Structure 1
Amino acid sequence: MRQKIIMDVDTGIDDSLGLLYVLASPEAELLGIVSTAGNVSAPQVATNNLALLELCRAPDIEVALGADTPLAIPLQTTEDTHGPQGIGYAEFPLPPRRISPRSGAQLWVDLVREHPGEIVGLCTGPLTNLALALRIEPRLPQLLGRLVVMGGAFNHPGNTTPTNEWNVHVDPEAWQEVFAAFAAAPADRRPLVCGLDITETIEMVPDHLARLAERARSVPEHEVSETDTPGTRSKASNPIVRFLTDAVRFYFEFHRHYDQGYLAHMHDPFAAAVALDPGLARTRAATVEVELGGTITRGTTVADWAGMWGREPNADIVIGTDPAVFFDRLIERVGDFARTVYPDR
């Protein structure tokens, strides 16, 4: 039996690779996608999701539009990191597919009620719509099989403020509501949290893209180089490889601009891989809260590792993995998928 998945994303360069990873995984059954405002606006996220499904010749998977704004603060977006449409230098035509009439929060609720205990929720953006779903259905932590989230920074600097990870920074109230709600979840259903401590060790470099293109039998090989003119567009024969190359090149250039090297942190596809195989991650249980009142620390994720608060853990935080194993899986799955979808390219 395939693992039922609902994805909640703010697509987003690395979100798009997370979505591709799930679509390329034979053990996954993607039931629906919630489009959450974050990297770009919610309507743009939804358009990206629909267009990516069209590019991948995917079945008719329901894509729902989420809330326009976070729970309590104005929306911040990050086109400087992900490009004007959220997909780097890649460009999509307007997709023929249509948005679901259900809201993102309602899609969460309806799916977990239809499939109690069977769904893994995979969230790679702000948790706005999951928090709204919890307000509709407080039993969601018991109805969901497992929750995997990409967000937070624990024993690690933030990537938005000195302490804040982006997804939490966009809607800290939502993250706090989710962590509080999942305090009632059984121990085997605590959220798996993929924070910056680990995801910033998942570094994609041009060789990974070259290996993926080779696996897909796409030409030309070795297409991306640090010496390329910024904004160079891909000539890859395979449309999925071409999309990935144009999207990730933008991410390489962004990281280099901030002196992190010509690389890209693959936060979200790593979370997707963990959602399908938790054995990829070593975890440690903790009680997590999100700081909402601090003048300079608002949005910080705080983990009580030692039980000082006297409360049961409400999260399993990923503390270790083998990035090489992850990249081997990503290259194998997405490369094979691209070749299967476009066998003549």
Structure 2
Amino acid sequence: MTQKLILDVDTGIDDSLALLYLLASPEAEILAITCTAGNVPARQVAINNLAWLELCGAPQIEVALGSEVPVIAPLMTTEETHGDQGIGWATLPAPTRALSERHATQVWIEHVRAHPGEVIGLVTGPLTNLALALRIEPELPRLLQRLVVMGGAFNHEGNTTPTTEWNIAVDPDAAAIVFQAFSGLPAERRPLVCALDLTEQIEMKPEHIRRIAELAGSTPAEVISPDDPEGTRSQASNPVVRHLSDAVRFYMEFHRDQGQGFLAHMHDPFAAALALHPEMAATRAATVDVELSGTLTRGTTVADWRGMWGREHNAAIAWETDPAAFFDHLVERVGSFARAFTP
């Protein structure tokens, strides 16, 4: 059986790998990709998605532009983390596919109305588009099968400010709207939240890229080394491997320069895997809200685990997983998928 998905992204290096993973997954039926500003501006996000789809020979999946600014806050982007175009050192061929004429909010609403209880919403960027859709269709939480969100930091330091995670920090007002709207759902339909507490354990290493290339039959052996000159480009014969390697190398160089090691935290592919296979992580129920007025803490996600607020739980927070097993799954999926593109 396939799982219908709406993918809302700010692509993004790790969003790119999440998309490749979903394209490689036979149980994923991507109904549409909606684009929001975050890692890079929304129009660049749309170009990146169209380019990846075309490179991979994907079916004609609708790619819709969403909000180009947050609900209230001024836009932040992070080209220093993801590169000028959002895909690191990769230079994808310019896409010939056309952007949808529909706005992202229209796409969200019409798909969930057409398939009530069947669609999983996967948001790996700021929650802006979903918050705007909720203003038009407040029943959207009950029309979705489930929402999966990459965002937040609970008992973990932030990656944007000392207490905030990037996707929430870009548009905390949207995040607050979404978490409030998804209250009152049965436990199995509460939003599944993949926060930094777990996603920063999902550390992609050069060995993972080497294994993907090997499975794809790409030559020569794909070696990403911390000793290479910065910005070294892949010579892989396989175009999917080559562009993925160039994107991930940039991300590894960024993490190294931040003192985190020569690795890349793959937040979004992990969230994509949980959208299809929620059993890959243990979860904890909590009531989640977002700080909006704190001078130092605006954008901080707060989880009430023990019911101190007297409000019902509105989220299932992914809490434990086996990173090695996840990467075995990811490598097999993406490497096998990329094999079709080896000359």
Match of 1:62 in 2: 62
Q: Tell me the TM-score normalized by structure 2.
A: 0.99
Match of 2:142 in 1: 142
1:28 is matched by which residue type in structure 2? Answer: A
2:230 is matched by which residue type in structure 1? Answer: P
1:95-244 map, 5 Å: 95-244=95-244
Asked if the contact 2:55–2:93 (Cα under 8 Å) also holds between the matched residues in 1, the reply is no
Query: Does residue 301 in structure 1 map to residue 301 in structure 2?
Result: yes
Q: Post-superposition shift, 1:188?
A: 1.6
Query: Does residue 326 in structure 1 map to residue 302 in structure 2?
Result: no
Residues 122-161 of structure 1, C-alpha deviation per residue, up to 9 Å, x if partnerless? 1000000000011111000000001000000000000000
CA RMSD of aligned residues (A): 0.7
2:48 is matched by which residue type in structure 1? Answer: N
Q: Post-superposition shift, 1:223?
A: 1.9
Unaligned runs of 5+ residues in structure 2 are: none
1:225 is matched by which residue type in structure 2? Answer: S
Asked if the contact 1:203–1:263 (Cα under 8 Å) also holds between the matched residues in 2, the reply is yes
Q: Post-superposition shift, 1:219?
A: 1.0
Q: Which secondary structure state, in structure 2, belongs to the residue aligned with residue 64 of structure 1? A: strand
In 1, Cα distance between equivalents of 2:86 and 2:220: 25
Residues 177-220 of structure 1, C-alpha deviation per residue, up to 9 Å, x if partnerless? 00000003222210000000000000001001001100111111
1:312 is matched by which residue type in structure 2? Answer: E
Asked if the contact 1:206–1:224 (Cα under 8 Å) also holds between the matched residues in 2, the reply is yes
Query: Does residue 25 in structure 1 map to residue 4 in structure 2?
Result: no
Q: Post-superposition shift, 1:93?
A: 2.4
Unaligned runs of 5+ residues in structure 1 are: none
Match of 1:38 in 2: 38
1:259-298 map, 5 Å: 259-298=259-298
In 2, Cα distance between equivalents of 1:94 and 1:218: 23
In 2, Cα distance between equivalents of 1:208 and 1:138: 42
Asked if the contact 1:141–1:184 (Cα under 8 Å) also holds between the matched residues in 2, the reply is no
Match of 1:86 in 2: 86
Match of 1:71 in 2: 71
CA spacing shift, 1:12–1:114, aligned 2, 3 Å: same
In 1, Cα distance between equivalents of 2:320 and 2:32: 29
1:122 is matched by which residue type in structure 2? Answer: L
Residues 212-269 of structure 1, C-alpha deviation per residue, up to 9 Å, x if partnerless? 1001111111421111010000000110000110000000000000110000000000
Q: Which secondary structure state, in structure 1, belongs to the residue aligned with residue 147 of structure 2? A: strand
Q: Which secondary structure state, in structure 1, belongs to the residue aligned with residue 122 of structure 2? A: strand
Q: Tell me the TM-score normalized by structure 1.
A: 0.99
Q: Which secondary structure state, in structure 2, belongs to the residue aligned with residue 26 of structure 1? A: coil
Identity of aligned pairs, percent?
Answer: 68
Match of 2:257 in 1: 257
Residues 66-110 of structure 1, C-alpha deviation per residue, up to 9 Å, x if partnerless? 111000011000000000000000012221001111101110001
2:110 is matched by which residue type in structure 1? Answer: D
Query: Does residue 15 in structure 1 map to residue 15 in structure 2?
Result: yes
